[in-house]
C-alpha cells in the first residue's frame, strides 16, 4: 500500500463538452514497475464498485501485459448529448471513423432531441449506434427504436436485465448490454435471460485486461471494448484488450480521448478510423500542469486506501 501511494499522481482533465454530467475528469495514475495504471472510478461510486477499477490499475502497474494479436484497433466516434448543430465539430475529432456512438436519453432532453442528433450524425457517418445508459422504460425504448431508424445496435436502453430482455423481444434492432455486465455480480446473466445480442465490456470496471478477456471468452455473444472516459493511460489498456481478442467484429468505443481539452500526453488522432495498440507514458510536464489540488489528491489517497482494503 505504501509503495502504491508513493507512485500515485492525481490529475484533473478539462473536457470540451459536458459528458456524464461532468466537465472535469479526475483520475489517479500509478507509475508502476510494469507500466502506468489508471484508477478513475467515477467519484459517486462506492468502494465496493470502485475497487474493481483499482484492481485494473494495479494490474497495469505491476503485472506484465499480454501480447496482442493486432496492433491497430477500429474505433467509433463518440457524440455526447449535444445540439445537432454541434455534431460536425464533434465528429471532426474522429477522422476516418465509419461508426458513431450517440448518447441519448439525456436527463432534461426528449426523444425529439435524440432523433435530431442521430439524424445529424447519420448525415456524416454511415453506421450509427446509440447509448441510453439505462435511461428509458421498456415502452420508451421501444418507441425510441422505432423513431431513431436503422441502428447498428441500441446500447443499454433500460436499467435492468429483465427490461433489456423485454425490449429485445419487441424490437428488431440488436440490443447491447453495458451496465448490465459491468455493474452486476453475474456478468453472464444477460445471455442466460436472452437480454442482449452484444456485450459492451470495459477494462477498468471489470477489474483489468485479464478479467475482461476471461468474460469475453465465456459470454457467448460478440463483444465491443469500450472506454470509461479514460485518460490516455486507461485508454491504452482498452486498446490492449481489444488487440488481444481473437475476433473484433465491431468498432470499439476507445476514441473518447477527443473529448478532453488536455490529456497527459499529446493526443493521438485516429488514422483511417483506427488507433494504435501500445503503452502510454505520461508527459512529466503535463502531470505537473494538470495536477489536482492538494485536497483532491488527499481525497483520492483515502479512496485508494478504502478500495485497496477490499481487494
Residues contributing to the annotated binding site for Mg(2+):
131, 155, 178
Would you list which residues are annotated within the binding site?
Answer: 131, 155, 178
* Active-site position among 52, 122, 168, 202: 202
Strands 8-19 and 22-32 turn out to be antiparallel
Residues 6+ apart with CB under 8 A from 81: 103, 104, 106, 109, 113, 117
CA 176 to chain CA centroid, nearest Å = 14
The CA distance from 289 to 79, in Å, is 28
- What does the DSSP 8-state code read for residue 235? H
Distances (CA, A) of 271 to 95, 97, 258, 263, 276: 7, 9, 13, 19, 9
Residue 38 near residue 57 (C-beta atoms within 8 A):
yes
Q: Which residues contact 166 (CB under 8 A, 6 or more apart)?
A: 138, 158
Whether the CA torsion 149, 154, 157, 163 is positive or negative: it is: positive
Of the residues 103, 182, 274, 303, only one is catalytic, namely: 103
Whether 202 sits among the annotated catalytic residues: the reply is: yes
Catalytic positions, written as ranges: 103, 202
Amino acid at each position: 500500500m505504501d509503495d502504491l501511494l508513493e507512485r500515485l499522481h492525481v490529475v484533473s482533465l478539462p473536457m470540451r463538452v459536458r459528458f456524464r454530467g461532468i466537465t472535469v475528469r479526475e483520475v489517479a495514475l500509478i507509475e508502476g514497475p510494469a507500466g502506468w495504471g489508471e484508477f478513475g472510478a467515477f467519484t459517486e461510486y462506492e468502494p465496493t464498485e470502485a475497487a474493481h477499477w483499482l484492481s485494473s490499475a494495479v494490474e497495469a502497474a505491476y503485472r506484465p501485459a499480454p501480447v496482442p494479436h493486432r496492433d491497430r484497433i477500429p474505433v467509433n466516434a463518440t457524440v455526447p448529448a449535444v445540439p445537432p448543430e454541434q455534431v460536425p465539430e464533434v465528429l471532426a475529432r474522429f477522422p476516418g471513423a465509419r461508426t458513431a456512438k450517440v448518447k441519448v436519453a439525456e436527463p432534461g432532453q426528449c426523444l425529439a432531441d435524440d432523433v435530431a442528433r442521430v439524424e445529424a450524425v447519420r448525415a456524416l457517418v454511415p453506421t450509427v449506434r446509440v447509448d441510453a445508459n439505462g435511461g428509458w422504460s421498456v415502452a420508451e425504448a421501444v418507441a425510441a427504436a422505432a423513431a431513431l431508424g436503422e441502428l447498428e445496435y441500441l446500447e443499454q436502453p433500460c436499467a435492468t436485465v429483465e427490461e433489456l430482455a423485454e425490449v429485445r423481444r419487441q424490437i428488431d434492432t440488436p440490443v447491447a448490454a453495458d451496465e448490465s455486465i459491468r455493474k452486476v455480480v453475474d456478468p453472464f446473466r444477460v445471455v442466460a435471460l436472452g437480454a442482449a445480442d452484444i456485450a459492451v465490456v470495459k477494462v477498468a470496471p471489470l477489474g483489468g485486461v485479464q478479467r475482461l478477456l476471461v468474460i469475453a471468452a465465456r459470454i457467448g455473444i460478440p463483444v465491443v471494448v469500450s472506454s470509461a472516459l479514460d485518460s490516455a493511460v486507461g485508454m491504452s489498456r482498452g486498446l490492449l484488450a481489444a488487440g488481444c481478442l481473437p475476433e473484433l467484429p465491431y468498432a470499439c468505443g476507445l476514441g473518447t480521448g477527443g473529448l478532453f481539452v488536455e490529456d497527459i500526453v499529446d493526443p493521438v488522432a485516429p488514422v483511417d478510423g483506427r488507433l494504435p495498440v501500445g503503452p502510454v507514458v505520461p508527459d512529466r510536464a503535463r502531470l505537473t500542469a494538470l495536477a489536482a489540488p492538494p485536497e483532491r489528491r488527499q481525497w483520492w489517497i483515502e479512496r485508494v486506501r478504502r478500495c485497496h482494503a477490499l481487494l
